[in-house]
Structure 1
Amino acid sequence: MCSVEQKPVFRDLSADDPDPEVTEIESLCMNCHANGITRLLLTRIPYYKNVVIMSFSCEECGYENNEIQPGGAFAEMGIRWKLRVEHPSDLSRQLVKSDYTSIRIPEIDLEIPAQSQKGEVTTVEGVLSRVMTGLVQDQDARKEQHPETAAQIELFLERLHKLRDLEESWQLLLEDISGNCFVENPAAPGRDPRCERTDFKRTRDEDHILGIFTRDEVSENRLLTPADPQTGCYEQLEKDEVLSFATNCPYCNAPAETNMKLTNIPHFKEVVIMATTCDACGHRTNEVKSGGGVEEKGVKFEVKIASRDDFSRDILKSETCSMSIAELELETGGRALGGRFTTAEGLLRATADQLRAAGDAPGLASERLQLFIEKLQEVLDGNRAVTIVLDDPAGNSYVQSLADDPTTPDEGVKITRYERSHEQNEELGLNDMKTEGYEES
């Protein structure tokens, strides 16, 4: 029996990979109706996800077309980006937009609706250039046939030129119900000073646009039976039982296997732990899902890491929990590391490994990133004390107490429970909107 080395489906672009597996397909040119060539490349964008880059070219008429499609499933939530364009470097920020990304520039009342353009990898300046190119097209004929309309377009083009020349600051707003758009952070791994990201719960109509339906909305012959292990129902899991099912690797999309187990965390609640190991690329995930719903209040933990004993503290970080370390100027969103049940040391090492994996990403200041990783390594070596702040508006995160008596407060952990803000309730898909306010526990 011959064996073939299994490679990841989605691989990083690298000079060490001489065969990036570009697929060429003969296809029809929509401009001259001759046969052209479409090239497909499956690759990964650092700090983003797997994508399929498609490039079409026709030798007969010279027509070319490039677009991008996400290489995985739709995200669980939609995403909004708000970028304040104030510096020339902001114009060169890389953008990834899908077919479902809408773009707005409120200063000039410009809106590009979702599904009006194909997905692409571009820059902030590229968005302006594409709009300007579309407006200039047929402008000569428009001046003869519709001079008033042409004059209005000329005025609008002047405003676009002012934005590109940064004569004044302006905002670029992106919204994508599929969650598959991205704005580059030049300050990574630090917090982006001029860009804000917000996740939101999709409406039922938005789910239908993406082709997502609930079990009650599909026909009876397509309903999953209760015995189907892939329905994802926690009720099927019994204690000490490990459920396995086939899936795809979230890193390279190769076939893999996921193990799922229901675990009871003392003094907290039951959670579902899912672990995936990929034989193709070696990627491993340790994901945690809460077995219950959203808690009545959010929770914030301030965990001091000053000794070796602090590294062994168990931590349950849900996918809605953000993490920050003020001493290192580090801030990560809840979905950056995903949900995981680990230790304080494991959480820091996972952060370092994720940064090392993106260390060769184009557009990043690799020296600054390497310096940050060295500081993080000093923490792991016990040579630098830090405080890890975990903020979970859903209240589904947990930090182990090292006190001998569970009823005695642990001096190494400060716990704050708070009422969620209107925006946090909206992100969690809750209808009960509460005022924001903190309360010490």
Structure 2
Amino acid sequence: MATQSAEPIYLNLNADDPDLGTTEIESICMNCYKTGITRLLLTKIPFYKEVVIMSFTCDDCGYQNNEIQSGAEIKEKGIKIKLTVNEEKDLNRRVCKSDYSSIRIDELDFEIPAKSQKGEITTVEGIIDRVINGLSQDQDRRKTEHPEAAEQISAFIAKLEELKELKKSFTLILDDISGDAYIENLCAPHADPKMHVTNYSRNKDQNHLLGIFDRDEIEDEKEDKEVQEQNENNEKLKPIPEGAWPLEELHGEVLQFQTNCPECKADCETNMKMTKIPHFKEVVIMATVCDRCGLKTNEVKSGGGIEEKGVKIEVKVTSREDFSRDVLKSEHCHLAIRELEVEVGPSALGGRFTTIEGILTAMKEQLSENSAIFRDSADKDSEERMEKFLEEFQRVLNGHREVTVVLDDPTGNSYVQALTDDGKPDTNLKIIHYHRSFEQNEELGLNDMKVEGYEDIENN
């Protein structure tokens, strides 16, 4: 975009600060190498996250450029979004793409590879227009020098124009290894039936492309030894020899280990305890409190592996007694409220051990945070729709409306407490075990996992 001046500039940007405004810095124009102005604005995209919008202008040569970058840390997983476009409003959906986003249209066998374009905020129609403009450049000269290639390009441009005119529906696939891609959900806060979102784990090459390396890849043996000695001095949790300390003895014991605060990166401690949920399995509960910034986090993980089958749990909330049911939601569990037509993905609430009331309250709090984004939005319909939805959600929490809470966990590690312990069926609780699909196994990394005969592969 533009090269900043040699003097380092440190910006403390906070999207919640109403007085933030636009920040201006002097930059070197990459066209004429004279000084221009780069304007930075930190803003929030509804139901997405904070982003930094940058705009550069050079008064000497008139060169202009704009770019968008993530205002948060790199996400743990990549994201793949499939959108079916068959209406005019689909063409007007807002799209946020980063430098690492690739775009594909299956019907035309056409793909824009990652790192070929800068990150930007645009629309579905804007993406097609940009491709058409790029292909149309130098067409006159191409018709003279390479008439066959020009004819093929013209035919392809005509196909792109047909997509804009919606003569037939098409599928737009946005794939981003950094997890920073976004397509507007026109049904928010409900799930969009035209859009399918998948989060996936990156491989080593994709991590390297993002500049993420494991410690053993960037540190030499001396540094590794120093880290090991420091860990021992800090009395970090040490591995337990197999058979030396049975897992049964861990129950009731609270273990501590050193970690870094996910917010301010200060040193803090995480408390870990293994416990058993009656009629279910062992789980590991972890809680972190940062004395520096006051951040409190808690997380629940299964004490075992992935189950042979996935589980879908439906619980009808008809009384205050149902609100008191214990709930274990794993980090891979999808959560939905059928009557409100709302669904949250596994990464939204993470893994937690709580109650029906607790998990519904957490959902409402997260949606309420997103609703604050609409205060400065010109989309009044979305604002009114969100306010009405939150009012209905509050009626559910007040016990004035019966709903069905659905937990869908492909790992089989989620649980809802039954209110009958005498062997009688719980009429408000329905549990379904199912075989995972190929796509679910792929997302969990099970399709490439080999648990038998791997010794032969290593020897070869």
Amino acid at match of 1:127: I
1:310 corresponding residue in structure 2: 322
2:177 corresponding residue in structure 1: 177
Does residue 393 of structure 1 match 2:397?
no
Task: State which of 424, 433, 436 in structure 2 corresponds to 1:420.
Answer: 436
1:32 corresponding residue in structure 2: 32
Q: How many correspondences in the alignment?
A: 419
2:253 corresponding residue in structure 1: 239
1:19 to partner: Cα distance: 2.9
1:94-109 pair list within 5 angstroms: 94-109=94-109
Distance 1:229 1:93 in 2: 51
Amino acid at match of 1:424: Q
Distance 2:123 2:319 in 1: 45
Distance 1:312 1:335 in 2: 24
Q: Which moved more, 1:208-217 or 1:379-388?
A: 208-217
Change (3 A) 1:397 1:227: farther
RMSD: 3.2
1:397-412 pair list within 5 angstroms: 397-404=414-421, 409-412=425-428
> Whose radius of gyration is greater, 1 or 2?
2
Distance 2:13 2:297 in 1: 17
Does residue 370 of structure 1 match 2:387?
yes
Amino acid at match of 1:335: S
1:247-286 pair list within 5 angstroms: 247-249=261-263, 259-267=270-278, 268-275=281-288, 285-286=297-298
CA contact (8 A) 1:201 1:426 kept: no
Distance 2:130 2:236 in 1: 44
Per-residue CA deviations over 1:306-342 (Å, capped at 9, x if unaligned) read 1111112121212210012221112222112222222
Distance 1:184 1:319 in 2: 24
Does residue 10 of structure 1 match 2:14?
yes
1:3 corresponding residue in structure 2: none
Per-residue CA deviations over 1:164-202 (Å, capped at 9, x if unaligned) read 121221110111122221111010111102111122232
1:290 to partner: Cα distance: 3.4
Distance 1:372 1:189 in 2: 8
Q: Which moved more, 1:209-218 or 1:331-340?
A: 209-218
Distance 1:230 1:40 in 2: 44
Name the TM-score, length of structure 1 as normaliser. 0.84
Distance 2:150 2:235 in 1: 57
Q: Which moved more, 1:33-42 or 1:384-393?
A: 33-42
Amino acid at match of 2:261: T
Amino acid at match of 1:19: L
1:25-174 pair list within 5 angstroms: 25-174=25-174
Distance 1:284 1:104 in 2: 41
User: Which segments of 5 or more consecutive residues in structure 1 lack a partner in the other structure?
Assistant: 1-6, 434-441
SS of the equivalent of 2:81 reads strand
1:270 to partner: Cα distance: 2.3
1:429 corresponding residue in structure 2: 445
Change (3 A) 1:372 1:288: same
User: Which segments of 5 or more consecutive residues in structure 2 lack a partner in the other structure?
Assistant: 1-10, 242-249, 450-460
Change (3 A) 1:276 1:415: farther
Amino acid at match of 1:332: V
CA contact (8 A) 2:101 2:115 kept: yes
Name the TM-score, length of structure 2 as normaliser. 0.81
Change (3 A) 1:375 1:131: same
1:408 to partner: Cα distance: 5.6
Distance 1:244 1:408 in 2: 46
1:50 to partner: Cα distance: 2.7
Distance 1:99 1:228 in 2: 42
